[in-house]
Structure 1
Amino acid sequence: MTQGPHFKIALIGASGLLGRAIANELAAIIRWQVIRTAFRHGNPSTITLDIRDEGAVRQFIADQAPDAIVVAAAERRPDVCENDPVLARALNVDALGFIASAAQEIGSWVLSISTDYVFDGTRPPYRPGDTPNPLNAYGRSKLDGEQALLRSCARSCVLRLPLLYGPVIDWGESAVTGLTPAIVASAHGVGPAVMDAWATRYPTFTPDVAVVIRQLLERHEVGESVTGVMHWSGDEPMTKFDIAQRIAQVLNIDARITAQRTPIDATPRPRNSHLASDALEVLKIGQRTPFDTAIRTVLQNWPRPTSL
């Protein structure tokens, strides 16, 4: 195990909602070398990599020979996965198999991101050893990806996360900030914003997740690698209806928000898939920013929506 300035990390999927937060967190650790990849939204400091291309993935890992690989690239939109299961499998399952196999050959530790949607939401809170039962194609693809990684790479960790939000490039990057246009429109007389009040979610701030990942990397750096399945989650239960009200308060607008108390999504979703985070908390790993504080930061750092 190399340490200090020779500790090299490959961050695959550095341009996405979570990837950007991880990149920012890791950039502060000057003793580490972080190699970032992106598929479409790269920049001069980022290597373009299509994780569906097995040859390119294997070549990248062989050339860079990282001590650790963080995989933040995925197809995370449930409706897209439902309608395009081939794409979901290519990104969420097959790509992880390529990465795991190449990492195993050079002894890299791999951390991959998964989801609370591997559970059916009927018996929360869920611990890492609980039996998954995904309700949709997204959850199935992520579960298959977990198994592909853990089966092929002995030194690997799956980090399951719930609904994520954080600094965004556009509102739709997160299902939390994605509520904002309808909330703002409702305050401009377009009609009430109808928000789900059936499913309980645990919104989790991406900079907090980035701290968890940095702490896991620090353990790996000193030879105390965490392996297997781990959970991390925010600890404030709320429905999208609740979230929308909190966003309206932060924006200080008189939004008209209506509660939808039965599920209407075309793609089935779990009602409450709360992830228990005790296993990481015991390791003194974790950070949680209160939702109101975090969402205020996100909304204040984005041009104020007016007539979206």
Structure 2
Amino acid sequence: MFTVAVIGASGLLGRAVTRELDARAGWRVVPTAHRRTQARRTALDIRDSAAVASFVDRVRPDAIVIAAAERRPDICERDPQAARALNVDAVRTIASAARQCGAWVLSISTDYVFNGSAPPYRIDDSPAPLNAYGHSKLEGERALAESTDFGCVLRLPLLYGPVVDWSESAVTSLVPAIVASKAPGASPAPMDAWATRYPTYTPDVAYAIRGMLEQHADGKTIRGIAQWSGDEPMTKFEIASRIARALCIDARLEPQAASVEATPRPRDCHLDSSRLEALGIGRRTPFDVAIADVLAGSLEPVPALPR
């Protein structure tokens, strides 16, 4: 039986990957989580090398998907050592354990390994991260390559999908401000109109990851670097406008023509997805369709307007 371990299965992407792989007949899926260990998830602290080695030796997976990470740029900037523990050291630990049992490793990285000055970015373009998050993920890519020759990095852009709270994604985190801007006497909600993003739906990413795993199961393992991205460019202001339309809210949004982020962020890191496209891997759900599903199915209710 083909066995896949999903590391970080309680997070935004990890849940989508687990759900997608569970639907694959004949596969054994072993999800892990650090704290949210309900729903059959195995407790695993990926910063504990002995625990990781024991888990991999016990499960003997054919493949490991590393979906756990510190993904918040501002947090990475304030505590780069903690970010490195998850984004670099843990990747090295997992890859080293995987090498002992011959498991293929798929590690998730980010478009923030690029500086955003010359999109679109192909897999062989030179990285040049602008912030601590991008640096840590780039180091994580190198840690994987140094630890095993039987692995692949999958770079992804801004993710959104079914959430347990709005803050899980930089897309859905806009919802409370969008709703509040409609209240009588409220000031317009400022929204970045400077950086171009490519919001990518986590069920679509999970579908692409399933395709990569199927390639591996068929003996056509993908190694090195791959990328997947949504293909609809939009700023946060445009994202917020489309969310407001989906909520049927006449929101008051104020576009910000210059970046106001405390942590530097790239302006446009559009990822070229041609490697996976050439293999027939991947799908893209239109943003308006996907965000409507996210808003309708979220476990956290849309905030009510103040009376």
TM-score range (shorter-chain normalised) is over 0.9
- Could you tell me which of 22, 27, 31 is aligned with 1:32? 27
Name the TM-score, length of structure 2 as normaliser.
Answer: 0.97
Q: Which residue of 2 aligns with 1:205?
A: 201
Cα shift at 1:44:
4.7
Q: RMSD over aligned Cα, in angstroms?
A: 0.8
List aligned pairs for 1:1-308, cutoff 5 A. 6-189=1-184, 190-302=186-298, 303-307=301-305
Cα shift at 1:300:
1.1
3-state SS of the aligned residue for 1:29?
coil
> Distance between the aligned counterparts of 1:17 and 1:92, measured in 2?
16
Cα shift at 1:196:
0.2
Cα shift at 1:30:
2.2
Aligned residue identity for 1:262: A
Cα shift at 1:304:
3.3
Closer, same or farther: CA 83–109 of 1 in aligned 2, 3 Å: same
Tell me the alpha carbon deviations over residues 33-75 of structure 1, each in whole angstroms, 9 at most, x when there is no partner: 0111000111151100010111111111111110000000000
Which 5+ residue runs of structure 1 have no aligned equivalent?
A: 1-5
3-state SS of the aligned residue for 1:288?
coil
3-state SS of the aligned residue for 2:96?
helix
> Distance between the aligned counterparts of 1:268 and 1:41, measured in 2?
31
> Distance between the aligned counterparts of 2:264 and 2:116, measured in 1?
11
> Distance between the aligned counterparts of 1:212 and 1:268, measured in 2?
30
Tell me the alpha carbon deviations over residues 214-262 of structure 1, each in whole angstroms, 9 at most, x when there is no partner: 0000010010000000010000000000000000000001100000010
Aligned residue identity for 2:280: K
Cα shift at 1:151:
1.4
> Distance between the aligned counterparts of 2:144 and 2:29, measured in 1?
21
Aligned residue identity for 2:132: A
8 Å CA contact 2:31–2:40 kept in 1: the answer is yes
Percent identity between the two aligned chains: 62
Name the TM-score, length of structure 1 as normaliser.
Answer: 0.97
Aligned residue identity for 1:280: L
Dislocated runs of 4+, deviation >3 Å: none
3-state SS of the aligned residue for 2:181?
helix
Q: Which residue of 2 aligns with 1:3?
A: none
Aligned length: 303
Aligned residue identity for 2:305: S
3-state SS of the aligned residue for 2:107?
strand
Aligned residue identity for 2:202: T
Which 5+ residue runs of structure 2 have no aligned equivalent?
A: none
8 Å CA contact 2:182–2:305 kept in 1: the answer is no
8 Å CA contact 2:153–2:224 kept in 1: the answer is yes
Cα shift at 1:106:
1.1
> Distance between the aligned counterparts of 1:307 and 1:48, measured in 2?
39
Aligned residue identity for 1:206: T
Aligned residue identity for 1:298: V
Aligned residue identity for 1:24: R
Closer, same or farther: CA 169–44 of 1 in aligned 2, 3 Å: closer
> Distance between the aligned counterparts of 2:23 and 2:228, measured in 1?
22
> Distance between the aligned counterparts of 2:153 and 2:40, measured in 1?
27
Aligned residue identity for 2:35: R
3-state SS of the aligned residue for 1:216?
helix
3-state SS of the aligned residue for 1:187?
coil
> Distance between the aligned counterparts of 1:305 and 1:88, measured in 2?
31
Closer, same or farther: CA 297–155 of 1 in aligned 2, 3 Å: same
Tell me the alpha carbon deviations over residues 113-158 of structure 1, each in whole angstroms, 9 at most, x when there is no partner: 0000000000000001000000000000000001000111111000
